[in-house]
Structures are given as C-alpha cells and as structure tokens.
Amino acid sequence: MAIFVYAENINGIYKKAAFEAVSYAKAIADQAGDTVTAITVNPTDSSDLLYKYGATNVIKIKDDGLKNFSAKAYAQAVNEVANGNTLVFPHTTDASSIAPMLAIMKDFSLITNVLEAPESLSPFQVKRRAFSGKGFMHAKADAAGVIVTVSQNAYGVKENAVSGSEEVKELSVANEDTKVVSHEQSSGKLDLKEAEIVVSAGRGMKGPENWGMIEDLAELLGAATACSKPVSDIGWRPHSEHVGQTGKAISPNLYIAVGISGAIQHLAGVNSSKTIVVVNSDAEAPFFKSADYGVVGDAFKIIPELTQKIKALKG
C-alpha cells in the first residue's frame, strides 16, 4: 500500500513545504517498505522536483474547477485519488484546511503539527507540537488510516532521489459554494513559516519608520521579517508578521529578536527556532534566558553595525 502525500503548489510552483512533506512521506515509506505517491493540483513545475525527495509516483490532478482554492473541493479531489491508508500533508494554511475535511471523508485519524518521523507505524504514533510550543504530545492514531500534517521547517527537506513516473488525472469536482473575488499576493516576499532565517522586532523599535534597518538586515540574510504582537496591534507591521502563541509559530534555523522583551506568549511561538539571537537594551530582559547569543545595547546602533559586519563576511 502506497503512502500518499499532498504536494502543495502556489500558482503551479511547488512550495518548500511540499518538498518537506514528500521527504517526510519517504521516511514513512522506508520504515514501511513502501513507496510514495505525490498528489498535486494543476502544477506547472516538473515532477522531477518531487522524485528528487522520494516520490515514486506523481498524480497530477487537472481540473479547471480547482483553479481557485476551496477546502471542500480540494478535499474531494484528493479523496478521489488517494487510496492508501497513510496521507501526509504540510501544515500550511491550505493543506491544514483540506486535511480535517478529508479525515472525515475517509474516517481516518488526523494528527496535525507533527515534528518528527513516526515513533511507530502500527499503531501509528508520532511526536507533535502542543501547547503552542510550550510542550510536546506523543499522539497515537486509533483509526485504520491516518492523515498527518507536518509542521513547517521541523522535519526539514531531505534529498532522496528515486526514479519516478507521473500520471495525469482529469477531474471535474463541483466547486459551487465558494468563489474567489480577489487574490492579493505580495510578490517577492519570503514566506515567514518557510524562512530559514527570521529577523524580528518589537516595541523597542519605537515606530514603524525605524523598520528599514530590520529589513536591510533581513534582505542581506535572505530572511523573512516578523514582529511581536503589540507591534502588529498598533499597526506598525501587518498582522501576518505577528509571531507567538496567538500569531504564527515558526521554527527557523536562526531567529534574531530585536527590541523584544521575550514575554512567555512571544516565546511560545519562536522557542523551537534552532538558534536564537537577542538584542535588547535591558540586560534583565527575560528573552536572554531563552537565547543562544545575546547582546545588551541599543538596537539603533547595533543593527546597522551588525549588518555591515555580516556584509563584510559575505564579501
């Protein structure tokens, strides 16, 4: 029985989260002595990109009715082609909207936010994120089949090339309940949940006009930008950049926190970052207790200087 994985694409281009999900599915397949079948909707990217991470089969769903996203219609489409008992999704907004609907359709267990390869396959048991990053849960699936969503940037992308083949499935799923009115995609901006480096700033920046130095550092590092909750509440930065317990949970390789105090709600969303650097003028800021590297000082002096020094390193 094949392991199925949902390879999410945006406008036909695979997301990094798709490669992560395929890598994860491959780990399950290797444990089970099985193969991976990837499902993707209206892709333009080549299937070679999915073979590279271990997908032996790629099913390309072609359906004009799925040009626009609808959780219900996508769940229906995936349900039509996925006939294994193990299904892997990335924990992106779209995929984590489809997965619960599919779990009901198939009467499977759904385990979201998984972090590591399964601890056992039968019964299926896996470690997942819980309590907004303040704890972990080892979850066991009771149903005959299981769907998991893989937390972004947790398991990672692992190359594992296989030779694969693709199959095109023409579907025409009814998609009448929802209609996309408009779609705004800010071009060229790195996705916060996928970013390997995140430069984040808090109320210590004093005002939105001072974010230039944060953006400069982020651009130099190929990083995404983020912020603390009050910063987005006041409207200095968009809601989509708010990280923490009530915002986004992220796990980049490097998290640079500038002028953020390190309140427990903020830490909840960022403490699974692999390396944390804290810059704060207050030596008593709680964030230093949860950091790997700390600098006490004025961000307005430190950040431009740090940017210069990293520029020099990068040559």
Partner 1 sequence: MKILVCISSVPDTTSKINFTADKSAFDKTGIQWVINPLDEFALTKAIKLQESQGATVTVLNVGEAITEPVIRKALAIGANDAVRINTEPKDSYSVAKEIANVAQTGGYDMILCGKESIDYNGGSAPGMVAQLLGQPFVNACVGLEVNGAEATAVREIEGGKETISVKLPAVIAGQKGMVDEKDLIIPNMRGIMSARSKPLQVLEASSSEVKVEGVSYDSVPQRAAVKMVSADNLDELVRLLHEEAKVI
Distance CA 31, CA 79 (A): 24
Work out how close the CB of 203 gets to partner 1 at its nearest, in angstroms, rounded to a whole number.
14
Q: Which amino acid is at 287?
A: F
The distance from CA 56 to its chain's CA centroid, rounded to whole angstroms, is 23
273 binds ligand FAD (CB under 6 A): no
Torsions phi, psi of 177, nearest 5?
Answer: -80, -30
Distance CA 310, CA 314 (A): 6
Q: Which of residues 110-169 bind partner 1 (CB under 8 A)?
A: 110-113, 125, 127-143
Q: Which does 133 bind (CB under 5 to 8 A by kind): partner 1, ligand FAD, none?
A: partner 1
Three-state DSSP at 33 gives coil
69 binds partner 1 (CB under 8 A): yes
Helix extents (H) in 203-298: 212-221, 229-234, 264-270
Work out how close the CB of 231 gets to partner 1 at its nearest, in angstroms, rounded to a whole number.
11
Three-state DSSP at 58 gives strand
Q: Which of residues 253-272 bind partner 1 (CB under 8 A)?
A: 253-254, 264-265, 268, 271-272
**Is cis: bond before 123, omega within 30 of 0?**
yes
Alpha-carbon distances of 112 from 124, 157, 213, 236, rounded to whole Å: 13, 18, 36, 32
Q: Do 252 and 153 meet the contact criterion of CB atoms below 8 Å apart?
A: yes
Distance CA 129, CA 112 (A): 8
Work out how close the CB of 308 gets to ligand FAD at its nearest, in angstroms, rounded to a whole number.
17
Task: With contacts defined by CB under 6 A, name the span among 74-82, 87-95, 187-195, 198-206 that binds ligand FAD.
Answer: 198-206
Q: 57 or 149, CB closer to partner 1?
A: 149
Do the bridges between strand 146-150 and strand 109-114 make them parallel or antiparallel, or are there none, so unpaired?
A: parallel
Work out how close the CB of 204 gets to ligand FAD at its nearest, in angstroms, rounded to a whole number.
3
Q: 150 or 226, CB closer to ligand FAD?
A: 226
43 binds ligand FAD (CB under 6 A): no
288 binds ligand FAD (CB under 6 A): no
Residue choice 2, 27, 66, 103 for contact with partner 1 (CB under 8 A): 103
Work out how close the CB of 163 gets to partner 1 at its nearest, in angstroms, rounded to a whole number.
31
Work out how close the CB of 283 gets to ligand FAD at its nearest, in angstroms, rounded to a whole number.
9
Q: Which of residues 205-234 bind ligand FAD (CB under 6 A)?
A: 228-231
Q: Which of residues 212-251 bind partner 1 (CB under 8 A)?
A: 221, 232-233, 239-240, 242, 245-247, 249
Question: Count of CB atoms within 10 A of residue 183's CB?
Answer: 8
Q: Do 126 and 150 meet the contact criterion of CB atoms below 8 Å apart?
A: no
Residues found near ligand FAD in the complex (CB under 6 A): 202-204, 228-231, 244-247, 259-261, 263, 265-266, 269, 279-282, 285, 298-300
